[in-house]
Amino acid sequence: MDVSQILKLLATLSIGLDDPTDSDIVVFMQFINLCYFELLQSTIAQNPLISVTHETLDCTDGDCEPTATPIFIPKVVYDVASNEALSGTTFDEVIKNDPGFTNTNGVAQEWFYSGGIISVYPVVTSLVADGNGIGIRYIPQPAPLTVNSLSSDILIPYMYQQVLADGASYYLFQSETGFKDQTKMQASMARWMEGKQKLFAYMKNVSGKKTFSTYSPV
């Protein structure tokens, strides 16, 4: 479903109008994106529609150059020359053993994500031009939907996209500007919960995993 179709469905489910006003659409889009990102946070790691970006980066004094798009989930960080994956850690863990962050010996062994960039430890310089560099495969930060977004822009399989209208309708009824129709709110909640469960089941089955693990970047 294109977002324009989801908006019309949401208008019917909530306020019972065929043509929502511009002010209605502004509010509707807030709730549609609320539901959209809620679903992505729970499914993105196993979502077959999500593209994984691969980049090779220069790394200077331990800090890699910024990726072309913001990182949502780093999948793997590796040393290009050896083609060996680095171990994930945190900046706090690194400075426990090296408070001055001064170890420049050897090659990168660990990586952490801080300040919007990937950094490595030991604090090395590794350049692509020299046949080195740091490789990263990651899921980019998903973009919010707009009124002009097409069905193909929505990172949810087509047959589950109508759940965005159900979820947005449920949250709309809960909001201060909602219409406080308890019957419609309960119906929307039931459809929203059922739609999410069906989507989660689909993601589990299509990924070939026996269990479904959700992910949140927070």
Lowest-pLDDT range of 41-55, 99-113, 127-141: 41-55
Start-to-end C-alpha separation, the chain: 29
Average pLDDT, the chain: 88
Gyration radius of the chain over CA positions: 22
**Between residues 136 and 51, the one the model is more confident about:** 136
Per-residue pLDDT at 56: 98
pLDDT tens by residue, 22-51 = 888 999 999 999 999 999 988 887 787 788
Identify the DSSP state of 69. Answer: S
Average pLDDT over every residue of 110-123: 95
Report whether pLDDT(174) > 80: no
pLDDT band at 4 (very low <50, low <70, confident <90, very high): very high
Lowest-pLDDT range of 87-91, 143-147, 177-181: 177-181
Q: Across 150-154, 174-178, 205-209, which has the greatest mean pLDDT?
A: 150-154
Report whether pLDDT(106) > 60: yes
Distance CA 98, CA 108 (A): 15
Could you tell me whether strands 71-79 and 134-140 are parallel, antiparallel, or unpaired per DSSP bridges?
antiparallel
Average pLDDT over every residue of 94-111: 94
Average pLDDT over every residue of 186-194: 88
Instruction: Say whether pTM exceeds 0.85.
Output: no
pLDDT band at 15 (very low <50, low <70, confident <90, very high): low
Per-residue pLDDT at 217: 39
Would the CA dihedral through 166, 172, 174, 179 be positive or negative?
negative
Report whether pLDDT(177) > 60: no
Average pLDDT over every residue of 141-163: 94
CA angle centred on 25, ends 4 and 185, rounded to 5°: 95
